[in-house]
Amino acid sequence: MSNFKDIINQETPVLVDFFATWCGPCKMMQPVLDQLKEDWGNKIRVLKIDVDKNPKAAAQFGIRGVPTLILFKKGEMLWRESGAFPLNSLKNKLERFV
């Protein structure tokens, strides 16, 4: 978990995607997150955490549904929302932080 803390404490915003492999909306978010990363490049980092393989991380952040996206910068949680979003909607939600 210290590696996770190192990652979210960086200057670059980190969008953490708490997901599950069996989750349909999570699968729909994958191309959206890929395109976000392609469009924004080094402005944001995307980190995926499988809640089934990392139950402690999911519990630490009170993840009750997937997908749940949390945006961190310098270790501070700036934004959090559950559900699947179209690319433009996600960009609109995040652009004030990036």
Active site residue ranges? 23, 26
Residues present in the chain in total? 98
CA-to-CA separations, 16 to 47, 62, 71, in angstroms, rounded = 5, 13, 6
Tokens of 56: 């402690």
